[in-house]
Structure 1
Amino acid sequence: MATWTGFAAMCVGMFMAVLDVQIVATSLPTIQRSLAISPDRMSWIQTAYLIAEIIAIPLTGWLTRTLGMRRLFVWSVAIFTAASVGCAASGSFSELVAWRVLQGLSGGTLIPAVFTAVFVLFPVSRQGLATTLAGVLAVLAPTVGPIIGGWITASASWHWLFLINVLPGFLAAFAGAAFLPHQAIDHRAVRSIDVVSLILLATALCTLEIGLKEAPQRGWASALPMSLLVLATSSGAAFVGRTLQRSAPLVDLSCLADRRFAAGCLLSFVLGIGLFGSVYLMPVFLAFVRGHDALEIGRIMLVTGLAQLLMAPVAVALEQRANARLLTAAGFAVFALGLGLSALQTPRTDFDGMLVPQIVRGLAVMFCLLPPTRLALGHLEPARVPDASGLFNLMRNLGGAIGIALVDTVIFGRAPVIGASLRDRLIAGDSDAAEFVGIPAFLFEMQRGVPPTPRAIEMLRPMVEKAALTQAINEAWAMIAILTAAALLCVVFTGSGVHKQTAESAGDLHRREP
């Protein structure tokens, strides 16, 4: 019971870290007005957190080995909670960004630490349930984030977006300190930290994140994004080369030589594209095409979360009884179908039209997360799990960052082209274009053959722009659906079982800890 209590506390901390990104996103305009932040700097409130988080994720393995799971979790959740108070108390842009960096550094360790705990604290018979608990919270937070953020924004001040972390953070830290197993600090590892590798890793991930953020709007071949991506590539290559030469590396990359783990990482990467891409595309469509506010968007998106919750017990039962490779293949196939169904939207699509795609995706997500996690991490020795968990979760976040960059590239690049095409088709009397834009059939028939006046074109401009944005969003949906379906090729390289000896070793490790 103590182990489950400590693990539940870790899941609460992870949920806070994932939720924080989503609820803050809904209130960026409110924060911008309150702190008098210029619009061009507003996105850095999120970017600062995401950059710090993605740097911290791969370091979780080294931190776990050095500090121990209990100490790492308690310190991380305590720092995250304190940083949340600092964010709420910020009176300027620079203060808020500084606290967001600290939030990201501490919150980034919480997700891989939870998945490490699954395979270190529990025997095989309990790993399915533990993975499900962690998985449900990890994918539920982005879904319920918009509605929670919208409700807080509508009913209270933006400060409560951060202050809601205080009570659960305090309780999680207390429960983790009381119930997680103790482990002494490895002072030798602290003294021998590879500072050069740390600088190279931070540089590579930081420049990659910023480069991906800037590339869609500035152009992938423009000077700033290209320079950042080149620096990211060179720093990353130098980090990998240095890591492979060291006997005690900062991040153990040797697990990538394991075929099943490497395939699992690729599946995690593609899942990140689909998860982050879908959670990004829905608010864009609902806000800029349908004109919904944050609370309404949250209510619509809640469907996916409810479907995930309903499928969770089924996923647990099947994951423990059915072939993991088949479950993974089915999960990614159905998830790709759900993404593809959203590529059929019109400017008039709303809750009813988005219901089925959301349900399909919600039913599939748990099978895209649980079996691949077991396939990637379940057969590894317990000593290798912390580093492997960090890399596995890093790949999902990198997939999300690259996926959003690709989505933005499609939207920014295709919307103007589609808009011009729709305008030309309307002028030529194309009834299909008129129907998609939303021009009543009788009105279009009355105008057929009559050249539109400049005033008529101007009046139709908002409708054409929304229709063009809708079609560009549809193309982005189709793109991530195709990428998700292509991930099925990875399934053939994964295994379906967990080595009994490894599982027993994990249980022995837990029993030996004082």
Structure 2
Amino acid sequence: MTSNDTPEPTRPVTLWAGFIIMCVGMFMAILDIQVVATSLPTIQAAIGVAPDQMSWVQTAYLIAEVIAIPLTGFLTRAMTMRWLFVVAISVFSLASLGCALSNDFTSLIFWRVIQGFSGGTLIPGVFSAVFLLFPQNRQGIATTIAGVLAVLAPTVGPIVGGWITQTYSWHWLFLINLAPGIVCAVLAVWLLPRDRADPGAVRRLDFVSLILMALALATLEIALKEAPQRGWASPLVIGLAALSLVSGLAFVRRSLTAVHPVVELKTLMNRSFAIGCVLSFVLGIGLFGSVYLMPVFLAFVRGHGPLAIGTIMLVTGLAQLATAPVAVVMERRMDARLMTAMGFGLFALGLGLSAFQTSATDFEEMLWPQILRGVAIMLCLLPPTRLALGNLPPSQVPDASGLFNLMRNLGGAIGLALIDTVIYGRAPVLGREIVARLQAGDVETAQALGIPASVFASRIGQPADAGTAALLTPLVEKLALVQAINEAWAMIALLTLVALCSVPFARAQSIASPQLQAKAGH
């Protein structure tokens, strides 16, 4: 598709069917990250990798993904939306087969990189398709379908991954992508509109900008991965962060002055798009953070297995599905800024309520925070997408969609690094504070540890023997972990409230009649 072309007219049924096929491909790419995460220990034992190296199975995918996401606009112009999706989903399926057949660490990492790069183009491709394929009065429905699948995948991922690993083997975590991938590729050739490609885009590609962008994003991802364990002030992390900053600034400078930039950063001059990117970044922190914190708490505090964890976390997904039709109706009738404010306010409340967990917290106590977050997610996704992409000309949408989705993934990566820093950094400090309060005779602390008041009262002032110390140590560590996790929940709730403050600065968008919306969308 050239910069001034839009897809040729296509029958509505065919158009919707093609779009749903694209959404299925996006769902596969997002789900793949989650199902593999739950089974990393199983994969590690099967191929004999050192435990401290196993996280590279995820990191390799994420690094390739964040490099591919901003390239989606360029690839769409060069190949057309139709053929980019067909090639991406085909390569993703082939790489999934390669992962399943891998019998050593090196080959698995190689195929994960291929998987991540091909999967990275599927997510922004879907969200740009919303604004390229449909008139304005249908974009809310399309965004809802894409949004539900995008946020449902992390929710159902743990239960799917746990069930597959327990029922079959880790190889099927990748093999499940083959049949849907082949079907999607075949149907997309038939269903997606035929556009004009721009092969000249390849000749105009600024390879220096491409290298600078890849270097900046890759070093940032590795720094964020290493920071919680090595420390933010460690030489490796500082060096990677500095390299990322220098290459990133060089990329920005070159992109702003290039005639044909790899990524059109000038779109950020659009105020509503810039605010939409801020909201997408913070939403990524909340989405990735909540999906990470719940399994950590349920596994290490409550002792639940992958299948039980996934079952508990289904509540968020069910709340999203129930809210989706209501969100579509609201999106057509409400100012996008008001709807965004409602969503982020509700999301912050759901995150904040999880900051009061105890060692006994389980499904019942997690129910309402999950429902609130599930209801809020659709309100946090639909209107910010409209604010960011809704008023841009079609020629800018693919690049803008790549940036918009990149911000959410970067938010997730930075959010996870901050959460790990809070958990690993604060838990030892909180543990020492708990011990100090016990030694001072604090009854509430003893009760939080599960020590009966009568027993604790009889032991005040007496030195702890070896047996008592051995009994108390795991209790103290568990309570410290709970309190550190609560602080992480509070942190991301606060960040969500801060993002909420940017909403009033977005430009107001008029709510036109369906007839005017349809005309404006063509």
TM range (shorter): over 0.9
The count of residues paired between Structure 1 and Structure 2 equals: 508
2:6 counterpart residue number: none
2:495 counterpart residue number: 483
Letter of the structure 2 residue corresponding to residue 277 of structure 1: G
CA distance in 2, matches of 1:116, 1:502: 21
The answer (yes or no) to whether the contact 1:290–1:348 under 8 Å persists in 2 is: yes
CA distance in 1, matches of 2:252, 2:472: 54
Shifted more, 186-195 versus 256-265: the winner is: 186-195
CA distance in 1, matches of 2:262, 2:511: 27
CA distance in 1, matches of 2:151, 2:416: 17
The answer (yes or no) to whether the contact 2:276–2:385 under 8 Å persists in 1 is: yes
Letter of the structure 2 residue corresponding to residue 140 of structure 1: L
Report deviation, 1:503. Answer: 6.2
Report deviation, 1:12. Answer: 0.2
2:454 counterpart residue number: 442
Shifted more, 321-330 versus 142-151: the winner is: 321-330
CA distance in 2, matches of 1:324, 1:437: 47
Report deviation, 1:445. Answer: 2.6
Letter of the structure 2 residue corresponding to residue 328 of structure 1: T
Matches within 5 A, 1:54-69: 54-69=66-81
1:96 counterpart residue number: 108
Distance 1:408 1:68, change over 3 A: same
For the pair 1:9 / 2:9, whether they are aligned, the reply is no
Letter of the structure 1 residue corresponding to residue 137 of structure 2: S
SS of alignment partner, residue 233 of structure 2: coil
Letter of the structure 2 residue corresponding to residue 297 of structure 1: I
Shifted more, 492-501 versus 368-377: the winner is: 492-501
Distance 1:491 1:218, change over 3 A: same
Letter of the structure 2 residue corresponding to residue 34 of structure 1: A
Q: Decide which of 419, 431, 438 is 2:431's aligned counterpart.
A: 419
CA distance in 2, matches of 1:499, 1:311: 21
Letter of the structure 2 residue corresponding to residue 407 of structure 1: I
For the pair 1:72 / 2:84, whether they are aligned, the reply is yes
For the pair 1:251 / 2:263, whether they are aligned, the reply is yes
Letter of the structure 1 residue corresponding to residue 219 of structure 2: T
SS of alignment partner, residue 359 of structure 2: coil
SS of alignment partner, residue 347 of structure 1: coil
CA distance in 2, matches of 1:442, 1:320: 61
The answer (yes or no) to whether the contact 2:335–2:510 under 8 Å persists in 1 is: no
Shifted more, 106-115 versus 434-443: the winner is: 434-443
SS of alignment partner, residue 109 of structure 1: helix
For the pair 1:203 / 2:215, whether they are aligned, the reply is yes
Report deviation, 1:504. Answer: 6.0
For the pair 1:366 / 2:378, whether they are aligned, the reply is yes
Q: Decide which of 107, 120, 138 is 2:132's aligned counterpart.
A: 120
CA distance in 1, matches of 2:115, 2:373: 30
Matches within 5 A, 1:495-510: 495-497=507-509, 507-508=521-522
CA distance in 2, matches of 1:495, 1:194: 33
Q: Which digits, 9 at most, give the CA deviation of each residue in 1:179-211, with x for residues without a partner?
A: 111123322111221110110000000000000
The answer (yes or no) to whether the contact 1:76–1:110 under 8 Å persists in 2 is: yes
1:133 counterpart residue number: 145
1:431 counterpart residue number: 443
The answer (yes or no) to whether the contact 1:268–1:393 under 8 Å persists in 2 is: yes
TM-score (norm. length: structure 1) = 0.97
For the pair 1:34 / 2:34, whether they are aligned, the reply is no
Letter of the structure 1 residue corresponding to residue 200 of structure 2: R
Letter of the structure 2 residue corresponding to residue 213 of structure 1: K
Q: Decide which of 64, 81, 86 is 2:93's aligned counterpart.
A: 81
Q: Decide which of 199, 202, 209 is 1:190's aligned counterpart.
A: 202
1:53 counterpart residue number: 65
1:282 counterpart residue number: 294
CA distance in 1, matches of 2:295, 2:478: 14
For the pair 1:107 / 2:119, whether they are aligned, the reply is yes
Report deviation, 1:507. Answer: 4.2
2:350 counterpart residue number: 338
CA distance in 2, matches of 1:118, 1:254: 22
SS of alignment partner, residue 502 of structure 2: helix
Letter of the structure 2 residue corresponding to residue 323 of structure 1: D
1:352 counterpart residue number: 364
The answer (yes or no) to whether the contact 2:335–2:511 under 8 Å persists in 1 is: no
Q: Decide which of 156, 178, 194 is 1:144's aligned counterpart.
A: 156
1:164 counterpart residue number: 176
For the pair 1:466 / 2:471, whether they are aligned, the reply is no
Q: Decide which of 37, 44, 48 is 1:25's aligned counterpart.
A: 37
Q: Which digits, 9 at most, give the CA deviation of each residue in 1:164-192, with x for residues without a partner?
A: 11111111111211111112332211122
CA distance in 1, matches of 2:95, 2:453: 56
How high is the sequence identity, in percent, across the aligned residues?
Answer: 64
Q: Which digits, 9 at most, give the CA deviation of each residue in 1:49-79, with x for residues without a partner?
A: 0000000000001001111000000000000
SS of alignment partner, residue 220 of structure 2: helix
CA distance in 2, matches of 1:502, 1:209: 44
SS of alignment partner, residue 183 of structure 1: coil
Report deviation, 1:506. Answer: 7.0
CA distance in 2, matches of 1:298, 1:405: 23
SS of alignment partner, residue 505 of structure 2: coil
Letter of the structure 1 residue corresponding to residue 97 of structure 2: V
For the pair 1:405 / 2:452, whether they are aligned, the reply is no
2:252 counterpart residue number: 240
Shifted more, 493-502 versus 299-308: the winner is: 493-502
The answer (yes or no) to whether the contact 1:23–1:145 under 8 Å persists in 2 is: yes
SS of alignment partner, residue 386 of structure 2: helix
CA distance in 2, matches of 1:170, 1:55: 25
Letter of the structure 1 residue corresponding to residue 139 of structure 2: Q
Where structure 1 has 5 or more consecutive residues not aligned to the other structure, the ranges are: 509-514
The answer (yes or no) to whether the contact 1:113–1:389 under 8 Å persists in 2 is: yes
Q: Decide which of 225, 240, 244 is 1:228's aligned counterpart.
A: 240
Letter of the structure 1 residue corresponding to residue 167 of structure 2: S
CA distance in 2, matches of 1:117, 1:502: 20
2:337 counterpart residue number: 325
SS of alignment partner, residue 24 of structure 1: helix
CA distance in 1, matches of 2:510, 2:178: 39
CA distance in 1, matches of 2:507, 2:315: 33
Report deviation, 1:452. Answer: 2.4
CA distance in 1, matches of 2:508, 2:78: 32
The answer (yes or no) to whether the contact 1:382–1:506 under 8 Å persists in 2 is: no
CA distance in 1, matches of 2:467, 2:521: 75
User: What is the CA RMSD across the aligned residues, in angstroms?
Assistant: 1.4
The answer (yes or no) to whether the contact 1:379–1:503 under 8 Å persists in 2 is: no
Letter of the structure 2 residue corresponding to residue 95 of structure 1: S
Letter of the structure 1 residue corresponding to residue 136 of structure 2: V
Report deviation, 1:410. Answer: 0.6
Report deviation, 1:436. Answer: 1.7
For the pair 1:382 / 2:394, whether they are aligned, the reply is yes
Where structure 2 has 5 or more consecutive residues not aligned to the other structure, the ranges are: 1-12
Report deviation, 1:440. Answer: 2.4
Letter of the structure 2 residue corresponding to residue 169 of structure 1: G
CA distance in 1, matches of 2:478, 2:127: 42
